[in-house]
Structure 1
Amino acid sequence: MSSLLFDERPLVVQPKLAFVLGGSDEAIILQQVHYWAQKNTNIKDGYSWVYNPMKEWQKQFPWIPERTLARKFANLEKSGVLVTNNYNKAKFDKTKWYRVDYDALDKMEHRLCQNSMTSMPDCHNGECQNGMTNTIDYTETTTDINNTSETQNVSDGAPKKTIKKKEYNLDSKEYRCALKLQEEILKNKPNFKKPNLQKWADTFRLIHERDKREWTEIGEMILYATQDDFWKANILSPDKLRKHFDLLEAQRARDSKPRKKQVFQRETLPDWAKDIPESRKKRGIKKTDSVRINAEIDALLKELELDDVEGSGTS
């Protein structure tokens, strides 16, 4: 029997909650806050709270890097479904206290039910029903609905709703990230089929807007993924980059940690070993690939940061 199959207490979450919050990680985080707040007796201002530093939370979600986890907590807080406060007795203690705002969560669910033209789980005619759903589709695309077969009518006799594709300028950050990814892939695969860069650009928009990734962070990951010996053969589109972003981020952080130096005992060489040929003395140490990679990352970051200063963040 596999050691990965439910011999330990699993993290359980409703697919509909993941749909409402926009991701399975966010749903699991909110579910755990709810679970521990209900088990605790920390009652403040009429509510049950749970408090933990981010390092302790990360132990419950070991597949999520701590930096990414902190960002997901912050996004839940911004959305209004997660409330934070500080009830610590010591003023220097900045540990956050958390609780779920159930009213805000219900409103978010109801709003999505009314506005969604897609197959939201257990949602019919703008009314959300209770129950479990086995599958959920997280695919996010921008489509052009112009012909009859691709058009959905809100009701019989209602005018057809047309959604036009967004066209990205060549100097927009989304398009430039798409172009940069293509350029790096071509260095490894010269015969790589030319992609639809507009579609790629739209995926980079989702990475920035939906996944809350900074442009500099995206630029770093493009270069890392296309120059890593394993990932350069697997990250051949923005969709793949987006799917594995957290894993790439964790591996990159691990690779960047300095390794401990081994201590060797220095021994006295015999006289015959001290005569080193001139040809060996002249050998220099080759520059590592990391120097070139870091230089490219720095150049790309400067370019993206310059755009942020000039106020082009709305592109």
Structure 2
Amino acid sequence: MSMNVTKTLIAAGFALATTASSVLAGPLQDRIDAGETIRIGFANIPLWGYPDENGNADGFTNDIAVETLAKMGLTNIEAVVGDWGGLIPGLKAERFDLITGGMYILGSRCENVSFSTPVAKAGDAVLVPAGNPKNINNYADVLSGGHIMVTGAGYNTVEAAKKVGIDDAHLMQVPGPTEMVAALKAGRADAAILTYFEASHLANDHDEIELGDNSLMPIWSKNFAGIGFRHEDQDFLAGFNEALAGYIGTDEMMAKVAEHEYGVDHLPGDTTAQWACENR
């Protein structure tokens, strides 16, 4: 074999190895290696994930994500706020590098998103006008009464409502919590169904609405939230999960998220993302 051929093969092998390494690293690691920011995408969702007065990432899922990244030595963070329904499309289009804000791990979402180990356990809840005049406490009550339910576009509650048979004529979808409250107050909807964290927060802020009887919500409405990554970022996700395992549930974390009403009851236990993908 000639020296020129040998050099050509070595160069080709090096190029192949470099390409394979780049593919293995994924677009997020490529951004980090290039000195660019890690873009955290989230919507304006009370307690879960929202921008603070300076536009920085706040809320307990953002706290967990940011602190876990810090454990990995990564602090060059950029908060990017968008509509809830645009978070997954934005992640896939590389407008965000990870998404937070209370993203439940659902089988339908797992097709498009690779989730971290769960960071929170929570259920849905019903918001109704004060006094609950139509006695609506769960999805079944909406269906049997022929009531109008409002929720957020892209929320897990859309899928849940359709699961029990609520049709589009009785399902109003709006951008987020502010619009849900407005629909209730204006009488355009009889009930809003959203996460318990959001519902409780909104009920405390508005005298005209209240929580339904949360004990009557079905057990299947309990879900597990994770941090969402692109499928191409598996290596980074593995490192994130390793750092998260050393942080989740620690005294340090619980003190950090306490201001957002996250308590020990919201810890996900030993539930895995794979289980949630297969069972939710």
Same fold by TM-score greater than 0.5:
no
Q: Return the structure number with greater relative CO, CA threshold 8 A, min gap 6.
A: 2
Q: Greater CA radius of gyration, 1 or 2?
A: 1
**Bigger strand fraction:** 2
Structure 1 length as normaliser, TM-score? 0.25
